[in-house]
Amino acid sequence: MIPKGVGCCLAVKREKQRERDKKQIHKIAFIFMLGLALPVFPGLVNAPDRTAADLPLYSEVIIAAVGDVMVHSPQYKAQYRQETGTYDFTNNFRFIKPYLLRADLALANLETTFGGEAIGYSGFPRFNTPDSLAGALKDAGFNLIITANNHTVDTGINGVFRTIDVLRERGLQAIGTRKPEDEKSYIVKDINGIKIGFSAYTFETPRVSGKKTLNGIIVPQEYEDLIDTFSYQDLGAGLPKIKERIEALREEGAEFIVLYLHWGEEYQREPNRAQRKIASTLANYGVDLIFGSHPHVLQPIEYVQSDDGSKATLVFFSLGNFLSNQRYERLKKKYTEDGAIVYVEVKKDLHTGEVFIAGFSYLPTWVHKYTKKQRLVYEILPLNDTLGNFEYYNLLTGESIRRAVNSKRNTVNLFKKPPLPVGQQARALPAAGLERSGEEPSIPPPDAATK
Ligand SMILES: [Zn+2]
C-alpha cells in the first residue's frame, strides 16, 4: 500500500521515471535498428562499430526570453475596443506568437501591475494595466512572468497580490513575488526530463528611513520578504541571499539554474560595474543562465567565467523593450524600440546526467507603432522575416521600413556571438534549427504545426 503524501509523490515520480526510461529504450532501439538498417545502403554510411550504449543520447529544452513588457497610457487607450467596452492586447503579439511557440518555455518581464480598474488605469510613472494583457501574454505563448521589478508596488501591496492572481487565473506563473500564503516566489520545472530552476530579482530604489522601496514607494515591512530584491548599496548582504535561493533550487532538484535580473542603467547599451560584479559572483555560485532587463535597450551577450575558471555563465545583460511606447520622437533615445526573443538550448546527456547549454540564438524584434483608421496600432515585428515581407507586416511607409531595417542592423551589430570559453567548447553540440555562428542568426520560418 502506498502511504499518503510523500509515498504517493514518490510513486508518481517513479511512474514518470519509468515512462522516461521507456522512451529512452525506444530511442535506443530506434537508433540501434537504424544502425542495422544502414549497411543495407553501403553508399550512405560506414556501419559504426559501436553499441547502442556508446551512442550519444540527449534530452533537450529550448527556453525563450524577452525583456520588458511595458504599457504606457497611449497603449492601453489604443487597445480599448468600443464595440465590446473591453481592452484587448492580442494584436500586439500577433506577429511574434509563432516564434514564441517554438520554445518549450517562454519568459517575459511584466513592467506593470494589474491593480484593477477601480483605482484607474495608468502609465508612467505608476503603471496599472487592464487585466486582459495577461490573457494576451498567455495567448502569445508566455509561461513564466517576471513580477519583480522597480514597478512591482506601483499599485501598492494589494496590486502585487492582485497581479499574481490575475496571472494565475490565466494559467501564467509569477516569478519574483509571492502572496503571504505562498511558500515560494520561484519554481523548479521538469521539462522534457530536465529540471530547471527559475528565480527573479530586482534592484531596490534607495531606502527611505531605512525602509525598502521600489520606484520610491515604501514596501510595507511585513511584506518585504514577498518581493525578491537586492540593494546596490548592500550587495554584501544581497548576494548571499541569492546564493541561499540557488541552494534551495538545487535542493528541489534543479539541474540547471536560470536567474532573471532587473538591473543596470536605463538607456545604457553596456553593462555597468554592478551588473558585472553581480554576474561574476553568480557565476561563482554556479548559475547557468542570466537574463537581464530594465535598461530599456539591449545590452551585449557574454559568457562570464567564475573566478576559478570552472564555470561559464551565459549572460544576456539586457533584453531591451519587448513592448512599449518609448519612441524616438518622444525620448530622443536611440534603441528603445528594439528588442529580441532569445533562445537558449539546454541539453542533458542521458548517459552521464550532465546538463549544459548547447547553443543559443536570437530573433531581433521591433515595436511598430502606426495609425490605422485614426487609431494607434502597436505590433511587435519579427525582423528576420519582416524585412522580406513589408506589406504582410503592415510596413507601408518608407519611414517605417527604414526604422525596421535600422533596428535589425543595430541589434545584429550589438549581439555579436561571444566565443565559448575554453573548456566549454567540447560540450557544445551542433544545435539543430538554431543558428550558431555568424553575425546574423536566422530563425526558421514559424511552423504552427510543429507545436
Ligand atoms: Zn525597470
- Report d(CA 168, CA 166) in Å as an integer: 5
Q: Which residue has the cell 535506443?
A: 28
Task: Measure 71 CA to ligand 1 centroid, in angstroms.
Answer: 12
pLDDT at 40: 30
pLDDT at 158 over 80: yes
What's the CA gap between 185 and 330, in Å, rounded?
A: 36
**Spatial distance between the Cα atoms of 340 and 355, rounded to a whole number of angstroms:** 25
Distance from the Cα of residue 136 to its chain's centroid = 16
Mean pLDDT of 350-371: 95
CA of 419 to the centre of ligand 1 (A): 29
Alpha helices of 91-131 — where are they, by DSSP H?
A: 97-100
What is the 153 CA–ligand 1 centroid distance (Å)? 12
Q: Residue 362 and residue 254: Cα distance in Å, rounded?
A: 25
Residue 371 has pLDDT above 60, yes or no: yes
Q: Ligand 1 centroid to 79 CA: how many Å?
A: 22
| CA 420–ligand 1 middle distance (angstroms) | 30
Taking residue 316's Cβ as centre, other Cβ atoms within 10 Å add up to 26
Amino acid 16: pLDDT: 55
pLDDT of 342-357, one tens digit each?
A: 999 999 999 999 999 9
Identify the weakest region by mean pLDDT among 23-37, 205-219, 254-268: 23-37
- Is the pLDDT at 12 greater than 80? The verdict is no
What pLDDT does residue 417 have? 76
SS (H, E, C) 171-234: CCEEECECCCCCCCCCEEEEECCEEEEEEEEEECEEEECCEEEECCEECCHHHHHHECEECHHH
The neighbour count for residue 66, using CB atoms within 10 Å, is 27
**Is the bond preceding residue 125 a cis peptide, omega within 30 degrees?**
yes
Q: What is the pLDDT of residue 93?
A: 98
Closest listed residue to residue 289, CA positions, set 302, 307, 276: 302
Counting Cβ atoms within 10 Å, is residue 413 exposed (0-12), middle (13-18) or buried (19+)? exposed
Confidence (pLDDT) at 354? 94
Residue 250 contacts by C-beta under 8 Å, 6 or more apart in sequence?
A: 197, 257
Distance 390 CA to ligand 1 centre (A): 32
217 CA distance to ligand 1 middle (Å): 14
Delimit the domains of the chain by residue range. 6-54, 58-431
Q: Would you say domain 58-431 falls under CATH 3.60.21.10?
A: yes
Handedness of CA 388, 390, 446, 111 (dihedral sign): positive
Q: What is the pLDDT of residues 53-108, one digit of tens each?
A: 667 799 999 999 999 999 999 999 999 999 999 999 999 999 999 999 999 999 99
Q: What is the pTM of this model?
A: 0.84
- Cell numbers for 103: 520554445
Write down the pLDDT at residue 33: 35
Distance 151 CA to ligand 1 centre (A): 7
Name the percent of the chain lying above pLDDT 70: 82
The 10s digit of each residue's pLDDT in 375-432 is 999 999 999 999 889 999 999 999 999 999 999 999 999 998 777 776 676 676 654 4
- Residue by residue, DSSP assigns 343-376 as EEEEEEETTT--EEEEEEEEEEEEEEEEEETTEE
Instruction: Write down the pLDDT at residue 19.
Output: 57
Q: What is the DSSP string of 363-425?
A: EEEEEEEEEETTEEEEEEEEHHHHTT-TTTTT--SHHHHHHHHHHHHHHHHHSPPPPPPTTTT
pLDDT band at 329 (very low <50, low <70, confident <90, very high): confident
Q: Tell me, what DSSP letter sits at residue 158?
A: H
The pLDDT, as a whole number, for residue 419 is 75
Measure the CA dihedral 239/244/250/256, to 10°. -10
Q: DSSP state, 317?
A: E
Give residue 358's pLDDT band: very low, low, confident or very high (50, 70, 90): very high
Residue in this structure with the C-alpha cell 554510411, named with its chain if needed:
45
CA of 262 to the centre of ligand 1 (A): 6
Query: Hey, what's the cell of 143?
Result: 509561461
Cα–Cα distance, 104 to 77 (Å, whole number): 33
Element (H, E) at 276: helix 273-284
- 307 CA to middle of ligand 1, Å? 29
C-alpha cell, 367? 515595436
